[in-house]
Amino acid sequence: MQAAAKPTPAPKASLSFNRVASKTEKEPAEDLCALHKKKLEIVCIQCLERICSKCALFGAHKSHSYREEEEVHAEISDRHNRLCNTLKQLELTEKVKAASDSLGSMES
């Protein structure tokens, strides 16, 4: 006796930050709390994990510090940009120093 073929799972749809889901659309499973089935839109600072509002207020994270996910994303983006700018400045400083050293050795 042959086992029934398993259906092929549909590809996951990705949601962008700018798109607002309608009431009839389902949230992707990875964006829902496994315990409360609520949207994960808060980040627990101590645990460094996404949590739902019920976990933050009443669950295991109630005594922890937490912030809205959008705020955390904005801070990470800002830090990334500042780090990239610092790296560019360091690279430019090293190029200028190398050029200066090269000119100094030519003058000797």
Could you tell me the CATH number of the domain that includes residue 80?
3.30.160.60
The reply to whether 44 falls in a domain is: yes
Predicted pLDDT at 46: 95
8 A C-beta contact, residue 52 and residue 39? yes
The reply to whether 20 falls in a domain is: no
The reply to whether 17 falls in a domain is: no
Domain count, the chain: 1
Q: State both tokens at 64.
A: 């922890």
Task: Judge if pTM exceeds 0.85.
Answer: no
The reply to whether 10 falls in a domain is: no
Each residue's pLDDT, cut to its tens digit, for the chain (108 residues) gives 444 444 444 433 333 333 333 344 555 677 999 999 999 999 999 999 999 999 999 999 999 999 999 999 999 999 999 999 999 999 999 999 888 888 777 766
The reply to whether 66 falls in a domain is: yes
Predicted pLDDT at 65: 96
Predicted pLDDT at 78: 97
Host domain of residue 94: 29-107
The reply to whether 8 falls in a domain is: no
